[in-house]
């Protein structure tokens, strides 16, 4: 065992983290080498000093503050769960209904053009849609009653158009014409 190797192993020797054979080699070397023995002494006292000093006690309010943080975190968790419930279950319903009405509106405006209605009918439908959807109007289509009125008026326009185009013997149950 030379000094270079011994000095590298002094840290593990100090910690008792080496096999018996190696430990005995180091012990024998320390008995005969004053330089390594001095180095070992420095490391030993360094460790001893570290252990004895610079330790702190927890403050008296540490535990109290910790449980307060737990309570705050738990109450936030409850609030987050309620918010999640609202976002997941309640909010999508009106959003979905609005989406359905929106699709219906688009269809209402586009279908007369798709199904070859005359220009007068198409204009009447466009006017009806504008009336129900413009922000300046009092009546908004997104209320159930106004939506029903919209459907009635729309059917009436289509009915009149068909009456003029094809005519009918029987009375229309909806618009009575």
Partner 1 sequence: MLEDDDIKLFLEFQRGDKQCFEKLLDKYEKPVINFIYHMVGSREDAEDLAQEVFLRIYRAAANYKPSSKFSTWLYRIAANISIDYKRKPANKLHAVTDSIDKPIVTDENEITKEISDTSKSQPENILEQKRINETVRSALLSLPSNQRIALTLRVYENKSYQEISEILSCSVSSVESLLFRSRQNLKQKLTASF
Per CB under 8 A, contacts with partner 1 among 55-94 are 55-63, 65-66, 69-70, 73
Q: Establish if 35 lies at the interface with partner 1 (CB under 8 A).
A: no
Interface segment toward partner 1; rule CB under 8 A; list 11-19, 86-94, 131-139, 147-155: 11-19
Cβ proximity to partner 1: between 48 and 118 the closer is 48
Interface residue with partner 1, options 3, 15, 35, 87 (CB under 8 A): 15
List the structure tokens of 169. Answer: 């013997």
Q: Establish if 51 lies at the interface with partner 1 (CB under 8 A).
A: yes
List the structure tokens of 170. Answer: 């029987």
Q: Establish if 145 lies at the interface with partner 1 (CB under 8 A).
A: no
CB of 155 within 8 A of CB of 112?
no
Residues at the contact surface with partner 1, assessed by CB under 8 A: 8, 11-12, 15, 17, 42-43, 46-47, 49-51, 53-63, 65-66, 69-70, 73
């Amino acid at each position: 065992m030379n000094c270079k190797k011994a000095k590298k192993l002094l840290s593990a020797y100090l910690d008792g983290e080496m096999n018996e054979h190696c430990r005995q080699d180091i012990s024998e070397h320390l008995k005969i080498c004053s330089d390594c023995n001095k180095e070992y002494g420095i490391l030993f006292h360094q460790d001893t000093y570290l252990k004895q000093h610079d330790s702190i006690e927890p403050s008296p309010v540490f535990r109290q503050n910790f449980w307060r943080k737990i309570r705050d975190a738990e109450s936030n968790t409850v609030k987050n769960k309620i918010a999640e419930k609202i976002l997941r279950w309640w909010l999508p319903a009106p959003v979905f209904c609005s989406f359905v009405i929106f699709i219906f509106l688009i269809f209402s405006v586009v279908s007369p053009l798709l199904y070859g209605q005359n220009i007068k009918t198409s204009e009447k439908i466009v006017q009806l849609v504008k009336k129900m959807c413009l922000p300046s109007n009092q009546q908004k289509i997104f209320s159930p009653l106004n939506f029903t009125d919209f459907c009635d008026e729309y059917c009436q326009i289509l009915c009149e158009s068909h009456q003029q185009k094809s005519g009918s013997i029987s009375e229309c149950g909806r618009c009575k014409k």
